[in-house]
Amino acid sequence: MSDDTIFGKIIRGEVPCDKVYEDEDYLAFKDINPAAPVHILIIPKKPIPMLTDATAEDTALLGGLLLTANRIAAKLGIAENGFRCVVNCGPGGGQLVYHLHMHLLGGRDLSWPPG
Ligand code: AMP
């Protein structure tokens, strides 16, 4: 499946990013427009456009996404105070880039509900 999104280009190395973590399945980098002192985007390398496109075949990949957030939160020193993981899905969910990704936000106390 071709992935012409900005995140597909980042995965292929065609566009630079400020990388904080990478393994075989995931890439994580700093959001270019941070909404918190720590704002990381964690993306599965598999090009799933949005959460509703994921299937049972992606169960392990989706679980691994959360565990990767844990690992990065610990690495960046925000695990103890706490953090938030967000997946925006579709236009109503505020999704702008149609390559599945999770926002990891922390480094300050976050209010609820979000906007
Ligand atoms: P979403 O609204 O969930 O699709 O979030 C997309 C996020 O990608 C936004 O927070 C943008 O600031 C971020 N973003 C877009 N382009 C880049 C880029 N080249 N490098 C890092 N973050 C980006």
Range of the domain at 22: 2-106
Instruction: For ligand 1, atom 17, name the residue with the nearest CA.
Output: 32
> What is the model's pLDDT at position 91?
98
Find the 31 Cα to ligand 1 centroid distance in Å: 6
pLDDT at position 6 over 80: yes
40, part of any domain: yes
Please tell me the total count of domains within the chain.
1
- Is 85 within a domain? yes
pLDDT digits (tens, 9 = 90+) for 45-67: 999 999 999 999 999 999 999 99
Q: Is residue 114 part of a domain?
A: no
> Which DSSP helix (H) or strand (E) runs through 71?
helix 59-76
Cis (ω within 30 of 0) for the bond into 113? yes
Catalytic (active-site) positions:
101
Residue at 113 is within a domain: no
Does residue 112 fall inside a structural domain? no
The pLDDT, as a whole number, for residue 1 is 57
pTM of this structure: 0.97
Give the CATH number for residue 32: 3.30.428.10
**Is residue 16, in this structure, part of any structural domain at all?**
yes
Identify the pLDDT of residue 2. Answer: 79
In whole angstroms, give the CA distance from residue 83 to residue 108: 8
Pocket lining for ligand 1, CB < 6 angstroms? 6, 15, 17, 31-33, 41, 88, 94-97
